[in-house]
Amino acid sequence: MSDQSTTMAEGRSAPRRPARRNETFKAYFGTPGNTVVTLICLVLLGLAAKAAASWLLINAVFDGAPEDCKAASGACWPYVAAKLRYMLFGIYPFDEQWRPLSATLLFIAAMAVSGIPRLWGRSLIVAWAVLLPVLFLLMAGGAFGLTEVATSQWGGLPLSFMLTFIGLVCALPLGILLALARLSKLPAIRILAVTFIELVRGVPLISILFMASVMLPLFMPEGVTIDKLLRAQVAIILFAAAYIAEIVRAGLQALPAGQTEAAKALGLHYWQCTFLITVPQALKTVIPPLVSLFIGFFQDTTLVTIVGLLDFLNTVRTALRDPNWQGIAVLEGYVFAAVVYFVFSALMGAYSRFLEKRFRVGHD
């Protein structure tokens, strides 16, 4: 949904020459028009800084009871402290919350390590294949003395990460297949793929989530029920697959025709040519837009809030319903969530730009 790819054309961050005071002065106050712009910016910045400081710090309450917050006009930080664990982990059993915490930390660490291009390879895939069941076991329990926790009790930040990550990992192969089908010479397969991709891309994600949560149970044979979380996950996978398919298709189409011709001349048949020659090269070129898509989907998973799953945004929202704090701290939770989303998205955005730079060097 969100179109992150446009951030990529990086600006003219020309390296600063050894600071000459004259030039710096000129940049801000060179012409009368420029001076006016600078002054307006300074005033706006000053006003914003003053408002932010008075709400966040000066008039804020850092320690105290709900009554203290009611009296103050600033932010109510005790609220965030009191509801922090609920916001992060939802209704996961309180005494077991070290499990989602360690699972989340493990996941973030693993993601950070996997981001190093030098480590990309088979062993990384094997490591993830080992790690994912461990994470699942940590969350779900039921073995090694861990009590079982039903998926209906999962929530908060780990759920948001899970929906995003599993969504994209499962959507990637599906997306590749869809892209291949769309480029296929066989008309029936091509038409099916085009219909699916355009249909999914033409409707809002929320309608697909609705379909999964309301319509899907009607389509199941009697007695079969699918976990609510799984249904939303499947919806996200199908949605992401259509977008990934278009990105991969762009990568495939950008390949020179000589690659397939050479593969054919060597006697490789279609599947060999596809999975040994074209797809690996195409994937390499589309890694930066895929990372951008990842950021977009990390934000789009918040939509599961609307179908009632307790993702991070929804735990933040439902934390407001605590009768002790009702009507007292209405914005603090959202501001906290905004900071969390901002940090993760900005980090991934910076990573995406790093990858782009790296790959651009490799190709020119």
Partner 1 sequence: MSPIVLLRNRRVRELAYQVLCVAAVVGCGWYLLNNALANLAKQDIATGFDYLGREAAFIISETPIAYEPSDSYGRALLVGLLNTVKVAVLAIVFSTIIGTIVGIARLSSNPLLSRLMLAYVEALRNVPLLLYLFLWYSAIIFTLPPVKQAITLLPGVYVSNSGLVVPAFVWNSGFWAVATAAIIGIAAAILWQRWAGRRRILTGKIVPGWPVATALFVLPVAAAVLFFDVSGEVDWPVLGKFRLTGGAHLKPEFVALLLGLTLGASATVAEIVRSGILAIRKGQREAAKALGMSDRQTMRLVILPQALRVIVPPLTNVYVTTFKNSSLAIAIGYPDLVMVSNTIMNQTGQAIEPIALFMFVYLLLSLATSALMNWYNGHVALKGRQP
Chain residues in the site for partner 1 (CB under 8 A): 1-4, 6-9, 11-12, 27-28, 34, 37-38, 41-42, 44-45, 185-189, 192, 199, 201-207, 210-211, 214-215, 218-222, 295, 299-300, 302-303, 305-306, 313, 317, 327, 330-331, 334-335, 337-338, 341-342, 345-346, 349
Single out the residue of 115, 142, 173 nearest to residue 291, CA to CA: 115
Handedness of CA 297, 300, 305, 307 (dihedral sign): negative
Shortest reach from residue 255's CB to partner 1, in Å:
22
Q: Return the number of the residue (104 or 352) whose C-beta is nearest partner 1.
A: 352
Shortest reach from residue 349's CB to partner 1, in Å:
7
- Residue 236 and residue 301 in contact, taking contact as beta carbons nearer than 8 Å: yes
Q: How far apart are CA 268 and CA 281, in angstroms?
A: 16
Q: Return the number of the residue (28 or 120) whose C-beta is nearest partner 1.
A: 28
Q: Return the number of the residue (122 or 185) whose C-beta is nearest partner 1.
A: 185
Q: Return the number of the residue (136 or 342) whose C-beta is nearest partner 1.
A: 342
In three-state secondary structure terms, 150 is coil
Shortest reach from residue 266's CB to partner 1, in Å:
18
Q: How far apart are CA 41 and CA 334, in angstroms?
A: 27
Shortest reach from residue 97's CB to partner 1, in Å:
23
Shortest reach from residue 292's CB to partner 1, in Å:
10
Q: How far apart are CA 96 and CA 158, in angstroms?
A: 14
Q: Return the number of the residue (2 or 102) whose C-beta is nearest partner 1.
A: 2
Q: Return the number of the residue (144 or 219) whose C-beta is nearest partner 1.
A: 219
- Residue 12 and residue 354 in contact, taking contact as beta carbons nearer than 8 Å: no
What separation in angstroms does the CA of 205 have from each of 2, 135, 211, 306, 307?
11, 27, 10, 11, 11
Single out the residue of 83, 90, 69, 65 nearest to residue 327, CA to CA: 69
- Residue 90 and residue 82 in contact, taking contact as beta carbons nearer than 8 Å: no
Shortest reach from residue 23's CB to partner 1, in Å:
11
